[in-house]
Amino acid sequence: MVKTSRKGSWYEIVVPEEWTSFTLDQLLRHIWKAPKKMIHSLRMDQKVLVNGQSPEWNKLFTRGDKLQLRLFEEEESSAVPAYHPIDVLFEDDHLLILNKPAGMDTHPNEPGQTNTLANAAAFHIQSSGETLNVRHVHRLDRDTTGAVLFSKTALAGAILDRMLEERQIKRTYLAITDGLIKKKKGKIIKPIGRDRHHSVRRRVSPTGQKAVTNYEVTRLMREEKKTLVRCSLETGRTHQIRVHFSDMGHPLSGDTLYGGSSSYGRQALHAVKIELFHPFTGEALSCHAPFKDNPEIFHNIDLSTI
């Protein structure tokens, strides 16, 4: 794991042996794949140093070099800080993972909105004495619960966005469907587009965007005539899991928008785990999100086995 430390507004990385085959320019452009505009800004504003000096961008790193990046500068939050109780699953200088409750949007959808998870994240950062712009890396539907990843700096956010696009961030979901699914595991590959008859709904459509959902039956709930399934996504389309299972003839329980029963007060969908390698240190991170529903929706599940 790469050795790092924070010193005020600067982030210091001790260059490991495996970095000695590339340059600072290659690190930013080809390893981290930071946006060109961001790299230009770091360079022009002298926010990158090596051993305390202006760097030679095309010189190979030497093991033990101290790479310093000015990442932690004051920046106004794009979401209005507003207090809401939150469940922090992981936090360091760069990342924040929160456990989203039901009935809360991930981010504001209109100016001045203050009742979202992003508002709560901004307040959390502010209350720790920092002025940083926390950014959501992905989102969950209003009534879907579980792990949501935020970045705390612009560079971390850019790297995480790229990791998400390249499927280097794995998100695992648990869902309860209506009916008993006979096939134990499968891959649903059906494009999803807007439903022109409904402003909110999505539907399987040959002209839609590619959407791939992997699923595995975890438990057949025979008495309730329901199925507990574990899902992972290869794409991140709006309402993807909900649309795919509805199209299968097994809508999520509680998901009345897509034909599900009214068994629960919301769709039975929970983002139970998120896994990734830390964008700077390379540390393997794995966070489980405990269930928060009252009354419970998901019963007798050992999160450590997922």
Which residue in 195, 180, 237, 197 sits closest to 213, CA to CA?
237
> Two tokens at 67?
């790479």
Q: Residue 85: pLDDT band by 50, 70, 90 thresholds?
A: very high
CA distance 35 to 229: 38
Q: Is 143 a catalytic residue?
A: no
The runs of H, that is alpha helices, within the chain are: 24-26, 36-44, 117-127, 154-165, 240-248
Cα 169 from chain centroid? 7
> What are the distances in angstroms from CA 96 to CA 31, 87, 100, 149, 278?
22, 11, 12, 6, 12
- Give tens-digit pLDDT for 62-84: 999 999 999 998 888 899 999 99
Q: Which of 105, 141, 178, 255 is catalytic?
A: 141
| Assigned token pair, 234 | 């290869």
* Domains of the chain and CATH, by start: 3-70 (3.10.290.10), 88-166+271-305 (3.30.2350.10), 172-267 (3.30.2350.10)
What is the structure's pLDDT at 210?
A: 96
Separation between Cα atoms, residue 244 and residue 239, nearest integer Å: 9
Question: Which amino acid does the sequence have at 18?
Answer: E
CB atoms within 10 A of CB 246: 23
Q: What is the pLDDT of residues 177-200, one digit of tens each?
A: 999 999 999 999 999 999 988 889
Confidence bin at 277 (pLDDT 50/70/90): very high
**Secondary structure of the chain: what % helix, strand, coil (to 5)?**
20, 30, 50
pTM value surpassing 0.75: yes
What is the average per-residue pLDDT within 199-224?
95
Cβ within 8 Å of residue 147, ≥6 positions away:
89, 97, 98, 99, 100, 171, 271, 272, 273, 274, 287, 288, 289
